[in-house]
Structure 1
Amino acid sequence: MTGFARRFRASCRSARPWLAVLGLSALLLAQRAAFPQIVGYPDAWTLPVAEAINRVMDGLVAQFQGVARAVSGGLNLAFSGVRALLIGSPWAVPVCLFCLIAWQGGGRRLALLTGALLLYILASGYWEPAMNTLALVLVALPLSILIGFGLGYLGFRSAHARRVILPMLDLMQTIPAFAYLIPILLLFGFGPVVGLIASVVFAVPPMVRNTILGFERIPPAVLESARMSGCSRPQQFAWAELPSALPQMLVGVNQTTMAALSMVIIAAIIGGFEDIGWAVLSAMRKAQFGQSLLSGAVIVVLAILLDRVTAAYAARQLPGASHAGLPLRRFAPVLAAALIAAFLAAQALPALRDWPAGLIHSPAQAINAATTGFVLAHGELMAALKNGVQFFLLLPVKLGFERAVVPFTWGITLTPGMKAAYWALAGLGCVLAFGRGRWKGGIAVLVVAGFLYFGATGLPWATVLLLTTLLAFQLGGIRLALLAGGAVVYLLVAGLWQQAMISVYLCSVAVFLCILLGGLIGIWAAASDTVSAIIRPINDMLQTLPQFVLLIPALMLFQVGDFTALLAIVAYAIVPMIRYTEHGLRSVPATLIDAGRACGCSAWQLFWQVRLPQSLPQILIGINQTVLYGLGMLVIAALVGTTGLGQAIYVALGEANAGAGLAAGLGMALIAMTADRLLQAVIRGRA
């Protein structure tokens, strides 16, 4: 027996479960014309999940609506008070307040940056909407911190509580915000407080995770010293545990602040008041690219301001850090005196009370005119690009070559000979991989070939269920297999199968493009400091610019449809791929690179044999984050005409249908959690 034959037989033995599943799939596909339920899950087999959720919600609303409305009233009172202080006082007072707080936390440079950012907001004409948004964040933030700290400390103290809290956090972070806006709306009513509560729900998880991490990292010597000093349990907590965990907790405060701010536009959908999120949303609905871009830039400015200030206070707690500013007992009277002086100065100088209209500049109309001119001048090129991607990439993945290759799109028809040649090439690739002992590659060839031929919406549901469960079992064991298989079963019995596969198709194409383009850009940035310096602020802008704003240029250039959604998803999800690829390549130890050069490796060999293998774990983390970002953007992309789970959630929000929204949101969360756990298992296997 030759070596090829021996390796082929060994590969066949190793791949028996996969070959069995693929063989069963071939039999199912051969019978799909006679039995359509092989591909489309029968409606008779579904369960009324949405109706059951609605019945539960009806009971909760009837039971707790009174308490919820009372809480809403209290939060509205606090929000109105903060809003009145920020907007009712002369602009010089809040500017003075925030500059002094920045100076206290980070020194003169941070104070100057804060002043410049606030002056930009004033000059842009968005001062009042920005202060409305800031008031919402300032009320949501303490609630998020307190709730997050309580849950985090409970999770640290109790292993049983942690087993409940951590999956709950996963759901809070993976269920699209549109889905849980509906029950919040039913319980708390319409208005800005509903957006505030949604912001709290979204912003709590980072605080919980960092609180748990902070207490877990307390050095044992600190605890032992506290016990030996005779501290009681409360004294040990206040004097030893809390100070030691505080630096990591302040990192959580920083992340919680950014998470609360990121909800402002989604909150604006149900908030109904003049905040900066509403300004972005209104401009987007009118397709006003200039106004949406400028108002979105104000959110970016607020994000930078809050990030730098909270990060500065967190950095002050690190060992050896210098303490800028004054002690609190001296800072408080200085702050009070400065605010009083600013208020009195504003009474004497009207320009310090109301920002002069002549100093407001808005290039929105010029941006709109430039965008319109570009569309008129290059409309045919844009249409050709859209149709090319639609016909030769999106449709084949969605419908498969079997249905996408037609004279209207490709100019040809798949003949029996073409089909036979396609499968012969796929089979040959599999046989060659098996003969070289790489049975996993051979199975991957057959799976990819089947996916492209039949499309995401043409695969038998049993095939997807078995392949997903088998992959999860081999990567992570029985628990991961139960999660993956349970996620697919839920999508089937909830009647969400077709929408889920459409979401998977669009996200798959977006992730593929992000890996390809983001990986190349990350490699380029790792090789050039100049490119890295150019790419870094672009990445910052793409991650802080509101997701809705990313839809506007794509919508202006390409109208509604899957291609427009694809561009927006790629623009948002490509950032982690770029960053983790660059970070991974730059983190390769110099000793390994020097050893490769000493062995005579060329630059090409050095990349493929040293740099890439060493950076692969970080790159896989980037792929993980790219998948999660892509799934998160799917719901936003539903606003430009895509179908799938995102559209189901958005429609449910418009109808105030909590059952349909939560059922689809849970489906999206299960897809995200399954993808996350599978990729984490791959990363652990590579570590």
Structure 2
Amino acid sequence: MSKLQSPFTLAWCALIALTLVFLAVQGSAGWLVAYPEDWVVPITPLLNSFMDWCVDMFGPFFRAFSAALDVPMTAVREFLNWLPWSVTLTLVTFAAFAVSGWQLAVFSFLSVLYMVVIGYWHESMNSLALVAISVPLAVFVGFALGTLAFYSERAERMIRPTMDLLQTVPAFAYLLPILLLFGFGPVVGLIASVLYAFPPTVRNTMLGLRRVPQEVIEAGLMSGATGPQLFWRVRVPSAMRQILLGVNQTTMAAFSMVIIASIIGGTADIGWEVLSTMRKAQFGESLLAGIVIALMAMVMDRITAAAATAEPKEPVLDESFVSRHRVWIIAAALGVGVALLAQMLPFLNEYPRSWEIFPARYLNDAVTYIVVEYADLISMIKTAAFFFVMLPVKIGLTETISPYTWGFEFTTTLKLAYVAAAVALVLWSAWRQGIGAALFVAFCATLLYFGLTRLPWLTLLAMATLLSWQLAGPKLALGTVIGLGFIIVSGVWPQALLSIYLCGLAVLLSFAIGATLGILASEFDGLSAALRPFNDTLQTMPLFVLLIPFLMIFKIGEFTALLAIMAYAIVPAIRYAEHGLRSIPAHVIEAATAIGCTRSQLLWRVKLPLALPVMMLGLNQTIMFGIAMLVIAALVGTNGLGQRVYIGLGDGDFGVGIVAGLGMAIIAMIADRMTQAWSQKRQKELGLSSE
């Protein structure tokens, strides 16, 4: 093991030393630290020229396709708005009861009733029309591609990286080419929603078809099934639970696009209400509208998840048509009955405006009270976090410490004291934890002194490549060089570092807090039960809505963006930590208890080491969630790749938007591969992997 580690150790020592040398000579050789603008490859104009050619060549076809899709979408929207609210409420409540019981039925009833009482019924139905069309389309495309990938290895090799790209490129980045090709209107939002939502169905279809037991296939072959019969009557029914889980994830992805689609859709839907009220700083109104989207998403999530995880019903011989389809018959009877009742009772058809409850003014007053009464505390929290945590990571202590920010100068004496303390900590880490820990401390000390955005691009590229090689081998290292090289030569390296700084800090804080909560939840069932609805709410809440409470209190700025990213990224850290600790085999716990381990020893010396690979997968998801939220957080004043995406969308500049979007996708995929490789390596070392 030491022989394998020694070349990496020497390489890390050389890179850290080289970083210090480059920083020392940057006055005479600035290109070693900052990538020269003269070296930037003009990728953006080439991409814009290519996009112009595509619009000229294929624009008429895409616009005709858009016009064709507008017909069913308009029909669904008009039907949902025509249908009495009481009928929709009844059918949703019955569907929830049929798949999960009375608890979900009550929740669904109250959620739909909220949309009615608050006065956002028609806007909600316009948004639901988008989801009602986009989800079946996304499921159809996803199922077809997943089946193709299952049968063809060549197709799978093309489909997998495409799915990675679609799920990691921010949705805003490909809104612009869609807008240029398909034109402005609700259908553009529909197409963007389909593109964003279908990858989960592809992945779950492939996984479900592969997991069909071989004995089931053999039984089908022995019974004389043809190829199509084997697929539709054996493979698909056996994989249906996994496929339905994909449908559930696709539905949630479609709901997350509701607000984004409203930017280019031009429809009076609930997403537009959130956006327009946010722009006017009407926080009460935007929060009430955002809750509508969150409730719609949660109801659909619970219903589709319950349908996906339900035990398949055993077929009954000679079952009558009524008995076989009794749920559908009851639903139809309820719908018709309530529709007839609505003709006699007008308030069941159109909810009276005078009955609506819209407490936005009280929410705005409450926010104003908090902001005014606790202004000093809010300012203190924001200032302390920004000047004492965020800025040192971003631009370093040398640029941060001043009489204005910290109250004193960063004198030569203090700088020497910092260097001495850093060297002492490195030596202590080498003595107590080994050379690897010492190198990590040395890098962190260098980063904190100079700041991430001021470190040399050349050594950062080399460090990322070396880490990729160390974790997963030369293949990932080559991919890292190519990916980060694209970011560098395309001229968005400074913006990429700003994105990495903000997202990285948010991920570290989210993982630290989330893993701690997950550990406590695994030890205390009461805390686990309390955290579950908290996690569900954060994970189903649309990304834009998460900005609202932080924007209300802390206003625009990087600190607000940091909190919004953390709110979205903390959930997987909590869930994976608790899941990893609760999934440890019982016999391991019993053996450790039998040899006299205390509860603390059991946690720190047995459970955490075994659960660490699963927790690292939680870190992986925390990173992916953080990057997904990064582009949304750009709305509240951050600079970086997310802001470049908005600039491209606002200026109609395809090249600018897509280069920034690809940059975010590259960072996400590299981080994804690194954390997965580390987790798999640890599982093998602990004997938890079958590979």
Query: Do the two structures share a fold, i.e. TM-score over 0.5?
Result: yes
Shift of 1:80: 0.7
Comparing 519-528 with 189-198, which one deviates more in the overlay? 519-528
**2:73 alignment counterpart:** 79
Shift of 1:307: 1.6
Q: How does 1:385-400 map to 2 (within 5 A)?
A: 385-400=381-396
For 1:12-51, what per-residue CA distance to the aligned partner results, in whole angstroms no more than 9, with x for missing partners? Answer: 7662121222232222112111222222211111111221
Shift of 1:276: 1.1
Which residue of 334, 342, 352 maps to 1:356? 352
For 1:253-278, what per-residue CA distance to the aligned partner results, in whole angstroms no more than 9, with x for missing partners? Answer: 11111111111011111111111111
Which letter does structure 2 place at the counterpart of 1:574? I
**1:658 alignment counterpart:** 654
**1:258 alignment counterpart:** 252
Looking at structure 2, the residues matched to 144 and 386 of structure 1 have their Cα atoms a distance apart, in angstroms, of: 42
Which residue of 514, 521, 524 maps to 1:528? 524
Looking at structure 2, the residues matched to 666 and 356 of structure 1 have their Cα atoms a distance apart, in angstroms, of: 49
State yes or no: 1:93 paired with 2:94.
no
State yes or no: 1:233 paired with 2:227.
yes
Looking at structure 1, the residues matched to 682 and 490 of structure 2 have their Cα atoms a distance apart, in angstroms, of: 35
Shift of 1:602: 3.0
Shift of 1:349: 1.5
**1:673 alignment counterpart:** 669
Which residue of 648, 661, 678 maps to 2:644? 648
Structure 1: which 5+ runs fail to align? 1-6
Looking at structure 2, the residues matched to 525 and 336 of structure 1 have their Cα atoms a distance apart, in angstroms, of: 43
**2:503 alignment counterpart:** 507
**1:129 alignment counterpart:** 123
Which residue of 400, 403, 413 maps to 1:404? 400
Looking at structure 1, the residues matched to 304 and 26 of structure 2 have their Cα atoms a distance apart, in angstroms, of: 58
Kindly indicate whether the alpha-carbon contact (under 8 Å) linking 2:297 and 2:541 is maintained by their aligned counterparts in 1: no
Kindly indicate whether the alpha-carbon contact (under 8 Å) linking 2:393 and 2:447 is maintained by their aligned counterparts in 1: yes
**1:299 alignment counterpart:** 293
Q: TM-score, normalised by structure 2?
A: 0.94
**2:686 alignment counterpart:** none
SS in 1 for 2:224: coil
Which residue of 109, 115, 118 maps to 1:115? 109
Which residue of 577, 580, 587 maps to 2:583? 587
Looking at structure 2, the residues matched to 398 and 181 of structure 1 have their Cα atoms a distance apart, in angstroms, of: 30
**1:280 alignment counterpart:** 274
Summarize the Cα distance change of 1:142–1:9 in structure 2 as closer, same or farther, 3 Å threshold.
closer
Looking at structure 2, the residues matched to 105 and 557 of structure 1 have their Cα atoms a distance apart, in angstroms, of: 40
**2:594 alignment counterpart:** 598
Kindly indicate whether the alpha-carbon contact (under 8 Å) linking 2:8 and 2:470 is maintained by their aligned counterparts in 1: no
Shift of 1:345: 2.2
Which letter does structure 1 place at the counterpart of 2:481? G
**2:157 alignment counterpart:** 163
SS in 2 for 1:361: coil
Looking at structure 2, the residues matched to 77 and 408 of structure 1 have their Cα atoms a distance apart, in angstroms, of: 61
Looking at structure 1, the residues matched to 485 and 5 of structure 2 have their Cα atoms a distance apart, in angstroms, of: 30
**1:347 alignment counterpart:** 343
Looking at structure 1, the residues matched to 488 and 47 of structure 2 have their Cα atoms a distance apart, in angstroms, of: 17
SS in 2 for 1:457: helix
Comparing 350-359 with 664-673, which one deviates more in the overlay? 350-359
Structure 2: which 5+ runs fail to align? 684-691
State yes or no: 1:619 paired with 2:607.
no
Looking at structure 1, the residues matched to 94 and 530 of structure 2 have their Cα atoms a distance apart, in angstroms, of: 32
Kindly indicate whether the alpha-carbon contact (under 8 Å) linking 2:322 and 2:329 is maintained by their aligned counterparts in 1: no
Shift of 1:88: 1.5
Kindly indicate whether the alpha-carbon contact (under 8 Å) linking 2:255 and 2:542 is maintained by their aligned counterparts in 1: no
Looking at structure 1, the residues matched to 525 and 95 of structure 2 have their Cα atoms a distance apart, in angstroms, of: 34
Which letter does structure 1 place at the counterpart of 2:175? L
Summarize the Cα distance change of 1:567–1:111 in structure 2 as closer, same or farther, 3 Å threshold.
closer
Shift of 1:308: 2.3
Shift of 1:337: 4.4
**1:568 alignment counterpart:** 564
Summarize the Cα distance change of 1:347–1:435 in structure 2 as closer, same or farther, 3 Å threshold.
closer
Looking at structure 2, the residues matched to 281 and 14 of structure 1 have their Cα atoms a distance apart, in angstroms, of: 50
Q: How does 1:156-555 map to 2 (within 5 A)?
A: 156-316=150-310, 318=312, 329=325, 334-435=330-431, 438-555=434-551
Shift of 1:471: 0.7
**1:3 alignment counterpart:** none
Kindly indicate whether the alpha-carbon contact (under 8 Å) linking 2:70 and 2:187 is maintained by their aligned counterparts in 1: yes
**2:687 alignment counterpart:** none
Which letter does structure 2 place at the counterpart of 1:75? L
Q: TM-score, normalised by structure 1?
A: 0.94
Looking at structure 2, the residues matched to 226 and 462 of structure 1 have their Cα atoms a distance apart, in angstroms, of: 59
Percent of counterpart pairs with the same letter?
47
Which letter does structure 1 place at the counterpart of 2:652? A
Looking at structure 1, the residues matched to 620 and 97 of structure 2 have their Cα atoms a distance apart, in angstroms, of: 38
Looking at structure 1, the residues matched to 428 and 487 of structure 2 have their Cα atoms a distance apart, in angstroms, of: 36
Which letter does structure 2 place at the counterpart of 1:346? A
Looking at structure 2, the residues matched to 182 and 8 of structure 1 have their Cα atoms a distance apart, in angstroms, of: 51
SS in 2 for 1:354: coil
Summarize the Cα distance change of 1:662–1:11 in structure 2 as closer, same or farther, 3 Å threshold.
closer
**1:4 alignment counterpart:** none
Looking at structure 2, the residues matched to 330 and 373 of structure 1 have their Cα atoms a distance apart, in angstroms, of: 54
Looking at structure 1, the residues matched to 509 and 524 of structure 2 have their Cα atoms a distance apart, in angstroms, of: 22
Kindly indicate whether the alpha-carbon contact (under 8 Å) linking 2:584 and 2:611 is maintained by their aligned counterparts in 1: yes
Q: How does 1:9-28 map to 2 (within 5 A)?
A: 15-28=9-22
Looking at structure 1, the residues matched to 84 and 19 of structure 2 have their Cα atoms a distance apart, in angstroms, of: 70
Which residue of 678, 681, 684 maps to 2:680? 684
Which letter does structure 1 place at the counterpart of 2:527? V
Which letter does structure 2 place at the counterpart of 1:205? P
Which letter does structure 2 place at the counterpart of 1:46? V
Which letter does structure 2 place at the counterpart of 1:627? I
SS in 2 for 1:15: helix
Summarize the Cα distance change of 1:384–1:102 in structure 2 as closer, same or farther, 3 Å threshold.
closer
Kindly indicate whether the alpha-carbon contact (under 8 Å) linking 2:518 and 2:575 is maintained by their aligned counterparts in 1: yes
Looking at structure 1, the residues matched to 433 and 99 of structure 2 have their Cα atoms a distance apart, in angstroms, of: 60
Kindly indicate whether the alpha-carbon contact (under 8 Å) linking 1:624 and 1:676 is maintained by their aligned counterparts in 2: yes
Kindly indicate whether the alpha-carbon contact (under 8 Å) linking 1:11 and 1:434 is maintained by their aligned counterparts in 2: no
Summarize the Cα distance change of 1:597–1:128 in structure 2 as closer, same or farther, 3 Å threshold.
same
